[in-house]
Amino acid sequence: MKVLVIGSGGRDHAIAWTFARSPRVKQVLVAHGNAGIAQTAGCVPLKTIEEMVDFAERERVDLTFVGPEKPLSSGIVDLFQSRGLNIIGPSRQASRLESSKCDAKVMLRELGIPVPEFAVFSEAGPARQYVRQVGYPVVVKADGLAAGKGSLVCSTVEEAEQAVHEIMEQRVFGDAGARVDIEKRLFGRELSFFCFTDGYSIVPMVAAQDYKRARDGDEGKNTGGMGSYSPHPWLDDGLVGTIMTRVAEPLIRGVRDRYGLLYRGILYLGLMLVEEGAEIVPYVLEINIRLGDPEAQVILPRLETDLVDICEAVLAGRLQEVRPVWDPRYRLCLIATSGPVKGKKGWYKGYPDRYRIGAPIEGLERIDPGCLVFHSGTGRDGDGRWLTTGGRVLCIVSAGDTLAEAREIAYGEMEKISFDGLYYRRDIGKE
């Protein structure tokens, strides 16, 4: 079987690696990939979804799996399906669950799914007025796609007003900031929960802890994710049941029966678990229509069932027959980013702010083969030497019988990597 993976980040590297492990897969191709992914799969320089569908047809690709949200929101699934090609992911319309934070929150509320108190604004004046009057800390979210950086977590009214200004008036996230979702900031424990679904049946995966803030102790700006681990310490069968009955099932059933959207593929629930009396309430902070980055890097290495079999069941609408098997051992992912560094024209603050690229990366060949290295932003120079090409550069994924063991291994291996400006959080997996 020939599989095409769409994407070019660490998550997409992990997806390609997972398919490459399948005895049913002869060839894995990635559009467009990166220099690190090229060690695992054949990278093809396709840019548009039209180029991708032409390629898949011409090369007789049997299965396409989409990593990032952008091609999904642009309608890649609709396009492939219109040409009779097998592809995993939701349609363009169903992708609104991620591509519009505002519409998604309204739908969730209408479906009776727990969400923080929120309001939607398309003008800065009323938004500013709202954050002055609510009397609690808020999170201001750009409506559209912003590479995981569009949620500004605010502690004071001044910060909230500044967030409204940056998103709606300065348009720091471009047109994604034409509307905002302003929601009550909840305090609890975040959990990234993933399911496979064929639009009727829903099969939960294992969950992961993501670390979204740039600095230790959950300080600093929101990023796409600075590290992760799985299993999640809070997730037992009881909590899985609660999340399925209170969120995943009413959501998939509701978007289908009430809004006419058959949601197929991966469902990613960004949840805040809040203890209310004797129960834990899973509030939905965000819905994503794909695997997380860096959650996929710790979840997929734990998947013992062939991902091809699961994808086929999704496509055939017989997911109820599938019971995925997971390795119980811990995986921990530590992301190396392009951090603060001095350039010719002054300081670069580093990811998620402006960062410098082109720094030579040393030490990759010394990483223990028991760990996985997935690449997000790497390239090679004419002599084959590794260079940084992005804000998130690469990650190390370790395995351990305990979280502490996995943590010790990942941090030990990361010490072997060096490049100018290398920055990583020191508290991933530190409970």
Binding positions for ligand GLY, rule: CB under 6 A = 148, 210, 224-225, 288, 292-293, 295
Q: Are 140 and 152 in contact (CB under 8 A)?
A: yes
Q: How far apart are CA 146 and CA 276, in angstroms?
A: 32
Minimum CB distance to ligand GLY smaller for 40 or for 288:
288
Q: Nearest approach, Cβ of 254 to ligand GLY (angstroms)? A: 22
Minimum CB distance to ligand GLY smaller for 183 or for 293:
293
Minimum CB distance to ligand GLY smaller for 254 or for 292:
292
Q: How far apart are CA 15 and CA 297, in angstroms?
A: 8
Residues 6+ positions from 92 with CB-CB distance below 8 Å: 72, 73, 74, 75, 77, 78
Q: Nearest approach, Cβ of 268 to ligand GLY (angstroms)? A: 7
Q: How far apart are CA 26 and CA 1, in angstroms?
A: 5
Q: Nearest approach, Cβ of 267 to ligand GLY (angstroms)? A: 13
Q: Nearest approach, Cβ of 290 to ligand GLY (angstroms)? A: 8
Q: Are 378 and 387 in contact (CB under 8 A)?
A: yes
Neighbours of 344 (CB within 10 A): 5
Q: Nearest approach, Cβ of 146 to ligand GLY (angstroms)? A: 10
Q: Got the DSSP string for 203-222? A: EE---BEE--EEEGGGEEEE
Minimum CB distance to ligand GLY smaller for 235 or for 308:
235
Minimum CB distance to ligand GLY smaller for 56 or for 104:
104
Minimum CB distance to ligand GLY smaller for 183 or for 210:
210
Q: Nearest approach, Cβ of 310 to ligand GLY (angstroms)? A: 20
Minimum CB distance to ligand GLY smaller for 331 or for 356:
331
Q: How far apart are CA 247 and CA 200, in angstroms?
A: 14
- For the chain, counts of helices (H) and of strands (E): 13, 25
Q: How far apart are CA 127 and CA 133, in angstroms?
A: 10
Q: Nearest approach, Cβ of 358 to ligand GLY (angstroms)? A: 26
